[in-house]
Amino acid sequence: MRKLILGLAITLDGYIEGPNGEYDWCFTDQDYGLDSFFKQIDAIFIGRKSYEMMQQQTEGQNGETIPGMPVLPEYVFSKTLTSVKEGAVLISGDSIAEARKLKNQAGMDIWLFGGASLFHSLMKEGLVDELWLSVHPILLGAGKLLFAEQEHRTKLKLLESKTYESGLLSIRYGVEYA
């Protein structure tokens, strides 16, 4: 079975974006492990807000969202969108059933790119296998938190950690469901 890996930037105080949706605090001076990560995935799960943000960013960068990112099938999870760009697939029905179906297909791992709501829904159903967090050395103090209150504890197993000279800490945890 393919692994579903949440991979994103987060501040030390747990925010994934600032109060106005900004992510100007994210380091872009090197790849921070993205090149090797791109070699292990062949699809992306993305929520509506993250999808729309990526589309805006792509327009200003000649079609490239993240430097070095290959073109991958994107599965956009949204109950409000009616269409997505060519090559993307809109998941608007039973998102959990669709995620489970896609995860059970043959292939490489899947990148859960963004969407705190999507992340929480998939975690609640036991579908997220790993958390790969790029912890940036900044305290935003406000914005959108990644982690919300949960119904129960979730144990994590440290798989890898790496510290960069910039102060960024890359950590990978396996999710251990009870």
Nearest partner of 26 among 36, 34, 38, 16, judged by Cα: 16
Cα–Cα separations (whole angstroms), residue 137 to 9, 134, 168? 11, 10, 6
Average pLDDT over residues 105-125: 92
pLDDT at 131 > cutoff 80: yes
pLDDT of residue 43: 95
pLDDT of residue 36: 92
Place of tokens 């747990």: 14
Total-model pTM: 0.91
pLDDT at 57 > cutoff 90: no
Chain-centroid distance, C-alpha 140: 19
DSSP state of 116: H
pLDDT of residue 60: 60
Q: Sorting pLDDT into bands at 50, 70 and 90, what band is 138?
A: very high
